[in-house]
Amino acid sequence: MARIVSVGTAVPDYTLPQEEARDFARNLFKDSWTDIERYLTIFENASIRTRRLSRPRAWFEDERTFSERNRAYTEEACRLGEKAIRRCLDPVGISPEEVDHLFFISTSGLATPSIDARMVNRLGMNPHVKRTPIWGLGCAGGAAGLSRAYEYARAFPKSRVVLLAVELCSLTFRRNDRTKSNLVATSLFADGAASVLVVGEKASVPAEVNRCPKVLDAMSTTWPDSLDVMGWEVADDGLKVVFSRDIPHIVREKVMPAVECFLNRSSLTLNQVERYIAHPGGKKVLTAYEKAMGLQANELIHSHSILGEYGNMSSVTVLFVLERELKEKHKQGTYGLLTALGPGFSSELMLMQW
């Protein structure tokens, strides 16, 4: 049985208070929208206090080319990725050279050789380490990548698998995009990296790993005819964000049936799940989760907390929530449900047990 052993996280150096983000948006959008003040309320309603950016605010005041922003992505992704992996592995006494498979998740930049290849050099990993870069899963990527790591560790029970997710959403910002979707993105998105160590049941690891949660199952769902709900459009000057205002409604309508179907595979009901690790796509999304699944706000306390402190870091965010959850004490036998939504429109679910 594969287990989740540790999580390491990293964020860029530049902090952006939400008040400054609102002022930035006001200056940028005011000439395009006569009623800009009415729309700026989304910054207060987002329940975000601070975010981290890969470059200082002043850097975004000037127009940047797609290639310039992508060079910044590659540079910062390598720096944060190395830091996150070391913070994941060092506490459990495993060296990068001992990793058997490295999965890399991102949707906010492009790099060939991919970032995982660069990690091999920066971390001194085994030159024979297997690498799987996965692009395009958006906010669902952290959960999906964790599922792929679990499946590999289950198939190869002696393996140590590392998942690395890096999203530098701020570097996709396009100053000339004055759409509401871009305004919403400006109020939500941030940068960060997270790494997770997953091991197979026969892997050589410290004895305390037996107290870590084991993964019981994972399920992906892609709903038909929903490609326009969330994602990117590739424009001449970069990646143009696509958002549907119907996302909270879709969550309320679609999530519960998927969760019930998933738990039924393990002969469980939602009442038997005690811990929830949900990707905080935004305050409205968390509220929709709570209504759809009949949860109290304190049952998503770590999701709300991470959203407030870091904003929406796309695929990375749910792994920040997982890191907080792993620091909690759990009774033996406690079930936990990890969930995230992303482009497709899609759902990723994982069931774990302490």
Write the pLDDT tens digit of every residue in 54-78.
999 999 988 899 999 999 999 999 9
Q: What totals of helices (H) and strands (E) does the chain contain, helices first? A: 11, 13
More confident residue, 250 or 96: 96
pLDDT at residue number 57: 92
Whether residue 34 has pLDDT greater than 90: no
Angle between the 317-326 and 301-310 helix axes, to the nearest 10 degrees?
130
Work out the percent of the chain whose per-residue pLDDT is above 70.
98
Whether residue 25 has pLDDT greater than 70: yes
Q: In the block, which residue shows the tokens 């996709």?
A: 172
Side-chain-side CA neighbours of 273 within 13 Å: the count stands at: 27
Helix H, strand E, coil C: the string for 97-138 is: HHCCEEEEEECCCCCCCCHHHHHHHHHCCCCCCEEEEEECCH
- Round the average pLDDT of the chain to a whole number and report it: 92
CATH top-level class of 212-353: alpha beta
Within the chain, which residue ranges are assigned CATH 3.40.47.10?
Answer: 3-207, 212-353
pLDDT at residue number 80: 98
Quickly state the pLDDT bin for 161 (edges 50, 70, 90).
very high
Quickly state the pLDDT bin for 209 (edges 50, 70, 90).
low
Q: Mean pLDDT over residues 98-121, rounded?
A: 97
Q: Cα(354)–Cα(338) distance, rounded to whole angstroms? A: 13
Catalytic residues: 139
Torsion of CA 315, 285, 330, 92, to 10 degrees: 10
Q: Mean pLDDT over residues 315-320, rounded?
A: 98
Whether residue 304 has pLDDT greater than 90: yes
Domain 3-207 has CATH 3.40.47.10: yes
pLDDT at residue number 344: 84
pLDDT at residue number 174: 86
